[in-house]
Structure 1
Amino acid sequence: MVEKRRLRLLKERLLNMYFNKFIGIEKVENKHIKVREAVRAIAIRDSHILMVHSNKGDFKFPGGGVESGETHVEALIREVLEETGYVNTVVGDKFGVYLERREDVFDQSLHFEMNSHYYMCECMGETVAQQLEGYEIEQGFTAKWITIEEAISQNERAQKLSDHNGWIERETYVLHKILQFVRGESERVVKK
């Protein structure tokens, strides 16, 4: 009985998403898959969206990897705090999932799979200093409220550069989906 209810709730959740995108290697033969679960925040306020700007000129959604023992909600609250400084984040419905599978650049015997889960969020109240580390510091991550159209335009410009960030394709795809949603042009569907 509990299992049936869990499966029904999962199905309802999937049917309420606006996208379920897969790119990369579909068939995996004779290789193990290293999976990274990630969560990303979609926070919209007064026709602006909260994004993280890099010194390469692109924008990404606040978020990152889910650590061992964390739920998606816990990871998202932590990541938003670290990357934007927002202390109060309310996590809402899942908007979609973007799954990428490629050969692992560090180990040729593996495939690397990144499952990015996007959630509607509300970021409010006070902000504190960002808690960046490693490549986030190197790339000069700064939080910025920007229109969806501006973020798309900047990402499309940055994607033409030879030294662009690997996340641009994914983030631009999701920005387009959000723009369709905001304009009332999208339906809740789950398609690849």
Structure 2
Amino acid sequence: MQNLKTHYHPEVKTLENKSIFTRLATRSIAIQGNTILLLYTERYEDYSLPGGGLDSGEDKIEGMMRELSEETGAQNIRNIKPFGVYEEYRPWHKPGFDVQHMISYCYTCDISKELGIPNMEQYETKNGMKAKWINIHEAIKHNTETMATSDKKGMSIERETFLLKLIAESID
């Protein structure tokens, strides 16, 4: 799969003499016209692609389908195709490691417009995460404004906005 970008968080100055934890994840790109299925998270005031960490030994496609279904209630997931890989190095604030190396495998897919009932994890519900079909350009504009003005923004907004811009280019 094509590497789309390797991003280093500003706090990660070097990888030399750092203990690194690697996390594999997937991101789903479901588009219908100019609308895309995203997750809006109230806590961070941002839009993100559905997705998350793979379980140990889990197949990437199966993990992508699981995450998409759990977070959005997506149904009839089909026509899955690789879009690319986004790598990032972020600070890790838990014992045992200095840096997290997140590798996100991104896939396009088709799904039914109507969503079923999501089965989110407790922290996702607590953070106010909700699935929403939205015009991709509105989502990019919103995230760009959040990055410029909000102190609530999370570490993933740069990845998400970068990916949304690439996706928009591919559909325009």
Q: Aligned pair in 2 of structure 1 residues 91, 65: CA closer, same or farther (>3 Å)?
A: farther
Name 1:46's counterpart in structure 2: 33
Q: Does 1:33 find its partner at 2:20?
A: yes
Equivalence map 1:48-63=2 (5 Å): 48-55=35-42, 56-63=44-51
Distance 2:5 2:20 in 1: 18
Q: Does 1:101 find its partner at 2:89?
A: yes
Alignment equivalent of 1:23, drawn from 1, 4, 7: 7
| TM-score normalized by the length of structure 2 | 0.88
Instruction: Output the amino acid matched with 1:171.
Output: E
Distance 2:71 2:111 in 1: 12
Instruction: Output the amino acid matched with 1:79.
Output: E
After superposing the two structures, state which structure 1 stretch, 100-109 or 156-165, moved more. 100-109
Distance 2:31 2:91 in 1: 34
Deviations 1:129-163 (A, max 9, x none): 11111321112111111111001011112222011
Deviations 1:48-97 (A, max 9, x none): 11101111431100111110121111101110111100132125221111
Q: Aligned pair in 2 of structure 1 residues 108, 161: CA closer, same or farther (>3 Å)?
A: farther
Instruction: Output the amino acid matched with 1:29.
Output: E
- Residue pair 2:45, 2:152 contacting (<8 A) in 1 also: no
Larger Rg: 1
Name 1:170's counterpart in structure 2: 159
Instruction: Output the amino acid matched with 1:47.
Output: N
Identity of aligned residues (%): 36
- Residue pair 1:95, 1:118 contacting (<8 A) in 2 also: yes
Instruction: Output the amino acid matched with 1:36.
Output: R
Name 1:76's counterpart in structure 2: 64
SS at match of 1:64: strand
SS at match of 2:104: strand
Instruction: Output the amino acid matched with 1:95.
Output: F
- Residue pair 2:19, 2:96 contacting (<8 A) in 1 also: no
Distance 1:96 1:28 in 2: 24
Instruction: Output the amino acid matched with 1:150.
Output: E
- Residue pair 2:21, 2:97 contacting (<8 A) in 1 also: no
Residue-pair matches, total = 167
Displacement of 1:125: 6.6
SS at match of 2:153: coil
- Residue pair 1:91, 1:119 contacting (<8 A) in 2 also: no
Q: Aligned pair in 2 of structure 1 residues 117, 26: CA closer, same or farther (>3 Å)?
A: farther
Distance 2:79 2:60 in 1: 9
| TM-score normalized by the length of structure 1 | 0.79
Name 1:149's counterpart in structure 2: 137
